[in-house]
Amino acid sequence: MVNSVVKENVMPVIYRAISILVEILELLILVRIILSWFRISPYNPISKVVYELTEPLLSVARNLIYKIGINTGMFDFSPIVAIMILRIILLIVREIIF
């Protein structure tokens, strides 16, 4: 009885919280992409926060691209890979919860 109540009431809330976190990270990655087009000081408080929040995920994506052996040249595809990783994690969480 208790397990069904928890599954019906708490699990959707947990999934929604994770979904919101993924959306925020995706938005921050997009902001980082836009910031890279302009010459903004790395000491700017906004860019510093964006870089500090996105760098852990983007470094994982860069390492994955490197280990696969893809030569991207001067282009950085790590934001695309990072967003794909986030979406895959969200899909797995949804399958586990529901």
Q: What is the DSSP string of 5-39?
A: HHHHHHHHHHHHHHHHHHHHHHHHHHHHHHHHTS-
pLDDT score, position 51 = 94
Residue 4 banded pLDDT, cuts 50, 70, 90: low
pLDDT exceeding 70 applies to what percent of the chain?
Answer: 93
Pick from 89, 41, 39: which is nearest to 61 by CA? 89
Domain with 44, as residue range(s), is: 2-97
- The total domain count for the chain is 1
pLDDT score, position 91 = 96
Residue 7 banded pLDDT, cuts 50, 70, 90: low
What digits encode the pLDDT tens for the residues 17-51?
999 999 999 999 999 999 999 988 878 999 999 99
What does the mean pLDDT of the chain come to?
90
